[in-house]
Amino acid sequence: MFERTKLILVACIAAFAALSPLIGGMNPYYFNILISVGISLILAVGLNLVNGYTGQFSLGHAGFMAVGAYLAAAMSLGILFPYLDPPQWAPTAEELAADPQATVAKWTYPFKALWLLFGWLINALFWCHNHIIPLGAALPGWGKFLFALFYGGAIAALAGLTVGVPSLRLKGDYLAIVTLGFNEIIRVVLQSADPVGASRGLPGIPLATNFFWTFTFAALAIYVVWNIVHSTYGRGFLAVRDDEIAAEAMGINTTKYKVLAFVIAAFFAGIAGGLYAHFFQYINPEGFNFMKSVDIVVMVILGGMGSMWGVCAAAVLLTILPEVLRKVAKIEALPEWAREIAENRMIIYSLILIILMLARPQGLFAGWVKKKTRPA
Amino acid sequence: MSAPLLDLDNITVQFGGLKAVADVSFSIGERELVGLIGPNGAGKTTIFNAITGVYRPTAGHVSFLGKKVGHHPPYIITARGIARTFQNIRLFASMTVFDNVRCACNMHLKHGISHALWRGTKVAAEEQRIERDVMELLEIFGLHEQRDENAKALPYGDQRRLEIVRALATKPKLLLLDEPAAGMNPTEKVELMKLIRFVQEKFALAVLLVEHDMKVVMGICERIVVLDYGLKIAEGTPGEIRANPKVIAAYLGKETAA
Ligand SMILES: Nc1ncnc2c1ncn2[C@@H]1O[C@H](COP(=O)(O)OP(=O)(O)O)[C@@H](O)[C@H]1O
Ligand SMILES: [Mg+2]
């Protein structure tokens, strides 16, 4: 029984490898959609661990995707980060020569404090990045791409840990707001980060993502999350969702589980970001805004939080839906208002969600696949 | 007397102006079955919460196995060997009977998340061992046939029993039972008390039992602690308690008194 899930995984990966050359030759428009579906699957399956199985509410998943996308791209492009300069601690020699009484303006004090708190940390991270880049560059072919992906995933997981530890003491709406804030901070920082193109975005990323890698990682994400939540270890995530007080009383460290869910989800979001960057070959901060996070949350809610196949189905559906709507918006025969609605998927999403909450609060697809709760 | 398993030393728990528990001290020895009784609102559940780390005592401290436990979060106290059930049933609602108990085996796992991710060979062996342990416990309480039913779909009495099974799965040294027989009829109650005695002996447990039915408590407990308005008003053998005028006064007019 334990071997069966592993066997399915290996069979899937083999099938993807066999299909990859065939599918690579298909109509590029449909190929684009197919790869987007794979990326959505990774994002939604990861977020389902946090929002679905563990019952937290993260609204900043695109932020982790951005971290993964930018760092994987920086790795592939060999972008080094320039170190931040420390603030001016004392007047320079010239300033003193001009005015012996010269002092450094009082308003720089807050910056000094910030520097003391974070400056050295940021520079230490930059130092690590600048020393890891050559390691990746030395690898041949796919090795370099995979290294870039895992680098992006690892740093996204680190970001998940950093955001998760202080904020997972918050509940519900508060956690949603903090994660949303994280998403926005990442976006704003990227918008002014010159080494990675600031708001112009980062073009020229080499094409490396293909059908095989995208769906292999999607299968891995599904495999890993499935294994976790069906193991005794991972039942702890569901226990946290069901009743935190009872979970603690049963010896489950609820904070650890919440952080763990966050870190795993962030890792996969980082991988998804790296795949995205190496497929579309261009990324910009707006691609990872709040709306992108909402897209992923809607997939999880629509699929039925904590239902693996429901969430997968919703991820596929909601990735294809905008393309269908785009087609609908072009149909001349439709009245103007209908075409306008079709052009704005957020209106459709909100409608779907409102109807869903009223009619099927457990999610569209939850319960379609009979729940199998025996351990394998 | 050797050092007690659990020792409450002048515990006070205050909610705003209300002293739910005031300067209560008592101790429980190994393999002892102690009853904790008192009218509604006397502070019994609050004492449970103070022992298990849900509330921090305002004053005084709890020692377990000779060490203070007061400042630890509940999951660490559970890991030390204190397990409990809840008066207002707190089963994991989305899970089956089996999984509810399985969750409680979580802290005894020898493998970490990395093995669970991959389903390594270590996991397979441990999952089998856990399944055996869980089924054994479920069988003792006659719940093994409902293993795949949703926990919240069980009859009320079975839910209470499942809570005990779940607590036992943490392999405690001390088991705290908060009104485990609430809502049961007299025959069910007697059955349950026999079961409690049975597991107490089988697993060499100390048990602290809250129960309203005096006849039941008197029949099963070696020692009884009586609370009223947060104060300990009496402690002794069932015979002593039955004859204690303070206890009679506290229960006067309350039909639960036998
Ligand atoms: N979290 C709380 N906040 C405020 N008051 C509480 C809280 N928990 C219990 N109490 C009060 O403490 C007293 C003792 O409650 P409890 O321990 O539940 O009694 P018992 O279990 O003996 O029936 C009651 O008056 C109750 O209202
Ligand atoms: Mg109570």
B165 occurs within a structural domain: no
The domain that contains B221 carries what CATH number? 3.40.50.300
Please tell me the residue having the least CA distance from ligand 1 atom 8: B46
Chain A nearest-CA distance from B74, in A, is: 6
- End-of-domain residue from the set B135, B159, B183: B159
Judged against a pLDDT cut of 50, whether residue A330 lies above it is answered with: yes
* pLDDT score of B92: 94
Distances (CA, A) of A241 to A85, A258, B47: 45, 9, 26
B195 occurs within a structural domain: yes
| Mutual angle of helices A61-77 and A254-280, in 10-degree steps | 50
A226 contacts A309 by C-beta, under 8 angstroms = no
Contacts of A254 in chain B (CB under 8 A): 75
N residues, chain A: 376
Least confident range of A25-39, A98-112, B89-103: A98-112
Interface test with A, best of B113, B129, B149 (most A CBs within 10 A): B113
Q: Is pLDDT larger for residue A83 or for residue B165? A: B165
Distances (CA, A) of B92 to A135, A142, A371, B166: 47, 45, 16, 10
- For chain A, domains (ranges, CATH) are 2-372 (1.10.3470)
Tell me the mean pLDDT in the region A207-212: 90
Chain A nearest-CA distance from B14, in A, is: 20
Interface test with B, best of A226, A229, A233 (most B CBs within 10 A): A233
Shared domain for B45 and B155, answered yes or no, is no
Q: Relative to the alpha carbon of B88, which ligand is closest?
A: 2
* pLDDT score of B138: 94
Residue A368: which pLDDT band, with cuts at 50, 70 and 90? low
Residue A372: which pLDDT band, with cuts at 50, 70 and 90? very low
Shared domain for B10 and B69, answered yes or no, is yes
Ligand 1: which residues within 6 Å by Cβ? B 15, 18, 20, 38, 40-46
Shared domain for B39 and B107, answered yes or no, is no
Number of domains in chain B: 2
Residues forming beta bridges with residue B224, ordered by sequence position: B35, B236
Residues forming beta bridges with residue B209, ordered by sequence position: B35, B177
Judged against a pLDDT cut of 80, whether residue A343 lies above it is answered with: no
Shared domain for B10 and B73, answered yes or no, is yes
Shared domain for B102 and B76, answered yes or no, is no
Shared domain for B135 and B77, answered yes or no, is no
Cα of B198 vs its chain's centroid, Å: 15
Q: Which of A59, A364, A353, A369 is nearest to A226 (CA)?
A: A369
Shared domain for B180 and B129, answered yes or no, is no
The answer for residues whose C-beta is within 8 angstroms of residue B245's C-beta and 6 or more apart is none
Q: Which of A248, A243, A239, A256 is nearest to B84 (CA)?
A: A248
Tell me the mean pLDDT in the region A333-355: 79
Tell me the best of B46, B226, B233 to mutate to test the pocket of ligand 1, counting ligand atoms within 8 Å of each CB and taking the most.
Answer: B46
- Residue B158 CA to residue B164 CA, distance in Å, equals 10
- Nearest Cα residue in chain A from B129: A232
B167 occurs within a structural domain: no
Tell me the mean pLDDT in the region A48-56: 92
Please tell me the residue having the least CA distance from ligand 1 atom 26: B41
Phi/psi of residue A320, each to 5°? -80, -35
Interchain contact, B98 vs A374, CB within 8 Å: yes
Chain A nearest-CA distance from B128, in A, is: 9
Contacts of B119 in chain A (CB under 8 A): 2, 5-6, 227, 231
- Residue B165 CA to residue B147 CA, distance in Å, equals 12
Total CB pairs under 8 A between chain A and B: 127
Chain B residues 163-202 within an 8 A CB cutoff of chain A? 166-167, 169-170
Shared domain for B197 and B238, answered yes or no, is yes
- Residue B235 CA to residue B217 CA, distance in Å, equals 13
B137 occurs within a structural domain: yes
- Residue B48 CA to residue B197 CA, distance in Å, equals 20
CB atoms within 10 A of CB B84: 29
Mind giving me the DSSP string for B105-158? TGGG-SS-HHHHHHT-HHHHHHHHHHHHHHHHHHHHTT-GGGTTSBGGGS-HHH
Looking at ligand 1, which atom is closest to the CA of residue B230?
Answer: 14
Q: Which of B165, B144, B143, B167 is nearest to B155 (CA)?
A: B143
Least confident range of A9-23, A98-112, A215-229, A279-293: A98-112
Shared domain for B74 and B180, answered yes or no, is yes
Q: Relative to the alpha carbon of B86, which ligand is closest?
A: 2
Nearest by CB to B107, which of A238, A241, A251? A251
Interchain contact, B166 vs A250, CB within 8 Å: yes
Shared domain for B124 and B59, answered yes or no, is no
Interchain contact, B92 vs A246, CB within 8 Å: yes
Shared domain for B75 and B185, answered yes or no, is yes
Please tell me the residue having the least CA distance from ligand 1 atom 3: B15
- Nearest Cα residue in chain A from B105: A232
Q: Which of A236, A224, A371 is nearest to A309 (CA)?
A: A371
Interface test with A, best of B48, B54, B72, B103 (most A CBs within 10 A): B103
Distances (CA, A) of A338 to A343, A346, B211: 9, 14, 66
Q: The tokens 């196995």 sit on which residue?
A: B65
Tell me the mean pLDDT in the region A64-69: 96
Least confident range of A262-266, A341-345, B203-207, B236-240: A341-345
Residue A283 per-residue DSSP state = B
Q: Which of B69, B66, B36, B90 is nearest to B224 (CA)?
A: B36
Residue A366: which pLDDT band, with cuts at 50, 70 and 90? low
B43 occurs within a structural domain: yes
CA–centroid distance, residue B40 to ligand 2 (Å): 7
Q: Is pLDDT larger for residue A63 or for residue A199? A: A63
CB atoms within 10 A of CB A361: 10
Range of B208's domain? 6-81+172-257
Please tell me the residue having the least CA distance from ligand 1 atom 7: B15
- End-of-domain residue from the set B115, B135, B159: B159
pLDDT along chain B (258 residues), means of 10: 82 90 92 91 93 91 87 92 94 93 89 77 85 93 91 91 94 94 87 91 93 84 91 90 84 52
Q: Which of A368, A242, A231 is nearest to A308 (CA)?
A: A368
Chain B nearest-CA distance from A247, in A, is: 8
- Residue A312 CA to residue A314 CA, distance in Å, equals 5
Q: Which of B233, B246, B206, B234 is nearest to B222 (CA)?
A: B206
Q: Tokens in use for A44?
A: 């939604």
Percent of chain A with pLDDT over 90: 44
Q: Tokens in use for B246?
A: 């303070």
Interchain contact, A250 vs B93, CB within 8 Å: no
Contacts of B115 in chain A (CB under 8 A): 233
B197 contacts B206 by C-beta, under 8 angstroms = no
* pLDDT score of A375: 42
Interface test with A, best of B89, B94, B95, B97 (most A CBs within 10 A): B94
Amino acid letter, A102: A
pLDDT single digits (tens) B58-73: 999 899 998 888 788 9
b/e per residue, A2-39, with b = 16+ CB within 10 A? beeeeeebeebbeebeeebeebeeeeeeebebbbbbbb
Alpha helices, DSSP H, located in A281-335: 290-303, 308-329
Residue A102: which pLDDT band, with cuts at 50, 70 and 90? confident
Please tell me the residue having the least CA distance from ligand 1 atom 9: B46
- End-of-domain residue from the set B104, B137, B159: B159
B88 occurs within a structural domain: no
Mind giving me the DSSP string for A29-78? HHHHHHHHHHHHHHHHHHHIIIIIIS------HHHHHHHHHHHHHHHHHT
> pTM score, two decimals?
0.89
Query: In this structure, which residues have their CB less than 5 angstroms from ion ligand 2?
Result: B 44-45, 87
Q: Tokens in use for A325?
A: 């709507």
Shared domain for B201 and B237, answered yes or no, is yes
- Coil, helix or strand at residue B211: coil
In sequence order, what E strands does chain A have? none
pLDDT single digits (tens) A130-176: 888 888 888 888 889 999 999 999 999 999 999 888 887 777 678 88
Q: Tokens in use for B29?
A: 């020895």
Phi/psi of residue B172, each to 5°? -80, 165
B247 occurs within a structural domain: yes
Chain A nearest-CA distance from B252, in A, is: 35
Contacts of B99 in chain A (CB under 8 A): 235, 238, 373
CA–centroid distance, residue B36 to ligand 2 (Å): 10
- Cα atoms in the 13 Å half-sphere on the side-chain side of A241: 22
Judged against a pLDDT cut of 90, whether residue A196 lies above it is answered with: no
B91 contacts B100 by C-beta, under 8 angstroms = yes
Q: What is the H or E stretch that residue A228 is in? A: helix A211-230
B164 occurs within a structural domain: no
- Residue A292 CA to residue A279 CA, distance in Å, equals 17
